[in-house]
Structure 1
Amino acid sequence: GDEVAWIAGAASPIGWSIRPTDPNDGDMIYFSGPTRVYVSPCVAERALGGKPALQVDVAKREVRLSFRAPAGEGCAEMSPVCGLEGSFGQLAAGPWVFVCKQSGIDVSIPFTVTTVTSRTVYYVDRRAKGSQNGTSWTDAFTDLQSALAAAPSFCEIRVARGTYRPDSWSDLYPGDQTSTFKLKTGVTLKGGFAGVGSSNPNQRDVLVHETVLSGDLLGNDDASVIRSRLVGHASRADNCHHVVTAVNTSSTAVLDGFTIQGGHAFGSSSPGASTYGGGLYIDGASPVIRNCLIAGNAAAFYGGGIYCRGDCAPTFIDCVLADNWSAWRGGGMYKDWGSRVTMERCLISNNSTVYDGGGIANHTEGELVLSNCILSGNLCTGLDSGRGGAIYCSFAQVTLNHCTLAGNFATFGAGLACASSNEPGSSDVDVRNSIIWDLGDSLWIGDSSIVQIAYSDVQGGWSGQGNLDADPRFVDAGRWDDRSTPREPTDDTWFDGDYRLAWDSPCVDAGDPSESLVPNAKDFGGRSRRSGVAVDMGAYEQRNEPPIADAGPDVAGFSIDGVSGDVTLDAGRSLDPEGQALTYRWYRDGRLVSSQQRFTTTLPVGEYAFTLIVNDGIRDSAPDEVIAGVWPIIPTVAGVSPSTIDRKKPAQALIAMLMLPSGRRATDFNLAEPMLLFPGAVAATKQTTMVWMNGAVYAIARFEMPQVLDALTTDGQVELRLVGALKDDRYFSGTDTVTIK
């Protein structure tokens, strides 16, 4: 059914999204996205106009998220929320849009629902116990190779959570290191399904229901092995050379929602196919790889994670290429001979090689196009020879737009290096709207390459229009731990960071002001690319969210004289999503009454509305209202002990009894608000209630004697007034006398 709920906490999703992104008419579709951070669902619903609700408009093909009165209750509770998530479906085939047009939320996500019956769907689940013909989840294939063998063109293969190995098929010898999952033209592979045993086996979440394609044929990989010792390590000796292979396929070959790990391209001691591309080997193919994690793969020569060559144009969208290693070039990827590789919103992190291109090696007559990508913590371990910590380019083209290169390292060109084995050689490098901020000299040009950089922040500086050389002020930059072996980088550990821009970053609104954005252009996190006067530099678009005013729960005070009393208002729960200092404005009847976070004011008996607005130095918050009431006390009977206090030999504490008003029960007493003793407004340190023999209910409180004597400055007979609170915001009070000597 159609459901929507608040996301608890303050760590909101980066952007609005639906999953799956290309649903079928049999799919349940899940959505999530950020709102401002509110202190509770009740406060959020009051700010947005009511409870969140979904409406499916079949005529307009819209799924609308809206807010309908009344709002929830419990606004006094501290239970922060930061976004919304839910599900809807199943929907008829055709174009749809998920939309929300609300104050503070402006979302429009177009998507297309395809008909399951318009193409064959095969199912794979290693836990299936049925006939294993792939026609349903119950009768699913238990290995992916069987499904690939049966799959005709224009079909979809759905794979449930679990680990699948390419040798687990009856027609192959178990342990065959040449076994690989071969992508096919016209076949879409989707991982991340709940599968057998779930109430909805078609539920898809690639993080929750991880689907792993593993080259570890015996399941014995030792994850603790450092990079330089992968060659010949016993735990990797059984691994296949390429986990996934794409040869001469078109862009209709799709791999979506898988983890690819454990590939070990060490099939020969000489350069060749069996020593390239441990995770994914592409030759003359143009597959679309989406929502995949390619990690923990290795190669003897080129492309620990990915190797790509020939007349082809593979596309990677929303992928992670991490923790891969090669012993020669291209720790993460090696792109070779004429291929054009496009990567959009991808993370290339903590890959390493010995010589060239810790992250990516781009070689010979091809083009590498990266948009809204992050390359972080990539490493060339050759201390005397490493070139291009993030990217190495030789006789090829590189285009970077809205990318962040950070924490990469190589002796020559921590971020990017260009070199050619035969002079005069050159590459063409075009960098725009990017940040290159690495460990050491970010750029190194060792040939005749043409490097054009504009509207970018480059450590050490680079000539070009709109360029900066200034700390980009990341929210939390990544860092290396060299384990006290600075001359042995192969054992270093990379801790990745948060490369969003701080509110005062010089890279905010510093991108190309004339950049023409495609419709619905998104940053690395999936948010709208332009949020200010110009685009930002780097992979993330910084968004200054307005601060959140929280005037606190309604408050009450008491009046002893029946005319006026004091109340204290506190905005301490107000917050700014970016953590900036706030200023405060309190209004009553449209008039500014205080600019303090917390203040006390005297009011006549009655109820009054106060409005709070906070500002983060850039934007005002939405107003928040609190009601303050002052009520006459209800007179009752009080008693204190001891009745005589000797300043030289005082008792440790003063014990007070205050009878609750007639008709009130012990449960009506507000234990959370300390009883007060006047003069001095001394607060009780302990309090409880008891029922007397005659049925009267008393509140009993302990006051520490040093505090009492500090408040009683004169000796002799002194009248003490006790004030207690009831849960309905009324107060009761009585007096007794003591003698001070």
Structure 2
Amino acid sequence: MNSTLRPLAGLILLLALPAADAATYCVGTAAELQQALNAAAASTGDDEIRIRRGTYAQAQTFLYTTTVSGWLYVNGGWIEDGGTPCARRSNVAGDTVLDGEGLRQVFKLFYNPAVTPVSAPRFLLSNLTVRNGFGEGFVRGGGLSMFSNGENYAEFWLDNVIVAGNSGYFGGGADFYLKKGLLRIANSLFADNEAPTSAYGHLAITVLAGESPYAAVLINSTFAGGTCAGQANRGCGIGAGLGEGARMDVVNSVFADNAQSDMSIEGFAHIGFGAGTAYYDHSLVPVTTGTIAPSVTGALDGDPRFVDAAAGDYRLADDSPLLDRARGAIPVYPLAFHDLDGRRRLRFGALDPGAYENQTWDTVFAHGFDPAGD
């Protein structure tokens, strides 16, 4: 075990593998979460931080900064049972909240390897809500920022995460930067984020160079209610900058009510990094701007008919024209078996697009069956 773990009196260390310097932590307070992040950042092994259900806020941004290449897996929803603090997990993203209280950026990860790693690191956040973040001045990603400055390949994963009500500069909800690697966002909701003095209310994505078949994949996710000042043709949904060999795929996803544009996709040829490519597959993306035109398959259109967007309910209503229309092939890694509410993902012949699976619509009643009839 790394020597930095010894003073963590309140932190529960569930599992330690001294030979690999890896550990699994169970945390129940904001202070314990930051302590676990510090310990994991110093570890050369692959570490997991399990966050118990609840709301977590502290006076500073939750920070993970490292020069080593161990994997990091931060996941919420953990529940005490039978005296064991992290005995089982809820798959409801809203059960565990990291809250910026409208005062500070919520979470920041910075990876700058000192040496070329033997294996590629992966940094994964799951089963969490990141809300009320504030990036003051020129701080990118009011909700969260993940930055890889290494020349080597690295991966950022968001799985079953809500990013909502955040404000920042160029990426109000989140900012992701990879010199080389993969960003994977799956089964997640970005809602009501803003960039009040710039563009990209929800998130900004930069991948300078591609090495694997994919550089950015957005899968079964919902992006709604993004606002911003705008900049030229850059709107308030997502901004993606893709260098040579970097491919972005938007699959089974829903964009709605984002001011000015939903996606802005640009290359970096003007600064010597070339330009990548983009593909939409069975997704609703009403307005795209930028210098890279996407190739589109199975485009969805129309009003998604959320249950109550004004109240922040971005589940598809029973009369939504999008039900059962998420038929795009899912790249990189299979989708989880549950949606953002922790409910069954596949109910009928196909998935629903976006972060939620409708749980109330029924094919029997939709085709005219009358339960009161003879």
**TM-score (normalised: structure 2):** 0.69
2:218 to 352, 366, 370: 370
| Counterpart code for 2:68 | N
Inter-partner Cα distance in structure 2 for 1:317 and 1:421: 28
**Partner residue, 1:254:** 73
- Relative to structure 1, the CA distance from residue 286 to residue 537 in structure 2 (aligned partners, 3 Å threshold; closer, same or farther) is closer
Question: 8 Å contact 1:339–1:365 — kept in the other structure?
Answer: yes
1:417 Cα shift?
0.6
**Partner residue, 2:84:** none
| Counterpart code for 1:508 | L
| Counterpart code for 1:430 | Y
Inter-partner Cα distance in structure 2 for 1:470 and 1:166: 43
1:168 Cα shift?
8.3
**Partner residue, 1:313:** 155
- Relative to structure 1, the CA distance from residue 328 to residue 417 in structure 2 (aligned partners, 3 Å threshold; closer, same or farther) is closer
Question: 8 Å contact 1:263–1:279 — kept in the other structure?
Answer: no
Q: Deviations over 1:364-396 (max 9, x none)?
A: 2252212121212222234x5472422111224
- Relative to structure 1, the CA distance from residue 393 to residue 329 in structure 2 (aligned partners, 3 Å threshold; closer, same or farther) is same
1:450 Cα shift?
3.6
Question: 8 Å contact 1:283–1:312 — kept in the other structure?
Answer: no
Question: 8 Å contact 2:252–2:328 — kept in the other structure?
Answer: no
**Partner residue, 1:188:** 48
Q: Say how many residue pairs are matched.
A: 320
2:130 to 289, 294, 297: 294
**Partner residue, 1:104:** none
1:620 to 344, 369, 374: 369
1:497 Cα shift?
2.8
Equivalent residues in 2 for 1:139-218, closer than 5 Å: 141-142=9-10, 144=11, 152=18, 153-160=21-28, 162-164=29-31, 182-183=40-41, 184=43, 185-192=45-52, 206=53, 210=54, 212=56, 214=58, 216=59
2:111 to 283, 298, 322: 283
2:312 to 496, 513, 521: 496
Percent of matched pairs sharing the same residue:
17
Larger radius of gyration: 1
Question: 8 Å contact 1:380–1:387 — kept in the other structure?
Answer: no
- Relative to structure 1, the CA distance from residue 349 to residue 254 in structure 2 (aligned partners, 3 Å threshold; closer, same or farther) is same
**Partner residue, 2:298:** 455
Asked if 1:508 corresponds to 2:323, the answer is yes
Asked if 1:428 corresponds to 2:273, the answer is no
* Aligned partner of residue 318 in structure 1, secondary structure: strand
**Partner residue, 2:183:** 341
**Partner residue, 1:573:** none
Inter-partner Cα distance in structure 2 for 1:518 and 1:358: 28
Inter-partner Cα distance in structure 2 for 1:522 and 1:535: 11
Inter-partner Cα distance in structure 1 for 2:216 and 2:328: 24
**Partner residue, 1:444:** 289
Inter-partner Cα distance in structure 2 for 1:401 and 1:529: 16
- Relative to structure 1, the CA distance from residue 393 to residue 147 in structure 2 (aligned partners, 3 Å threshold; closer, same or farther) is same
**Partner residue, 2:80:** none
Question: 8 Å contact 1:243–1:260 — kept in the other structure?
Answer: no
* Aligned partner of residue 122 in structure 2, secondary structure: coil
Asked if 1:419 corresponds to 2:263, the answer is no
Equivalent residues in 2 for 1:480-495, closer than 5 Å: 495=311
**Partner residue, 2:89:** none
> Cα RMSD (Å) of the superposition?
4.2
Inter-partner Cα distance in structure 2 for 1:471 and 1:512: 18
1:506 Cα shift?
2.8
Asked if 1:531 corresponds to 2:348, the answer is yes
**TM-score (normalised: structure 1):** 0.38
| Counterpart code for 1:295 | R
- Structure 1: tracts of 5 or more residues without a match: 1-119, 125-131, 135-140, 170-178, 193-205, 217-238, 267-276, 458-468, 480-494, 548-614, 626-741
| Counterpart code for 2:302 | A
1 or 2 for the larger relative contact order (CA 8 Å, sep ≥6)? 2
Question: 8 Å contact 2:34–2:63 — kept in the other structure?
Answer: no
Inter-partner Cα distance in structure 2 for 1:513 and 1:261: 34
- Relative to structure 1, the CA distance from residue 537 to residue 337 in structure 2 (aligned partners, 3 Å threshold; closer, same or farther) is same
| Counterpart code for 1:620 | F
1:249 Cα shift?
3.4
1:312 Cα shift?
0.9
Q: Deviations over 1:521-554 (max 9, x none)?
A: 555544233613x55444444466459xxxxxxx
Inter-partner Cα distance in structure 2 for 1:259 and 1:511: 28
Question: 8 Å contact 1:265–1:278 — kept in the other structure?
Answer: no
| Counterpart code for 1:444 | T
Inter-partner Cα distance in structure 2 for 1:351 and 1:520: 25
Equivalent residues in 2 for 1:714-733, closer than 5 Å: none
Inter-partner Cα distance in structure 1 for 2:302 and 2:275: 29
- Relative to structure 1, the CA distance from residue 293 to residue 180 in structure 2 (aligned partners, 3 Å threshold; closer, same or farther) is farther
**Partner residue, 1:97:** none
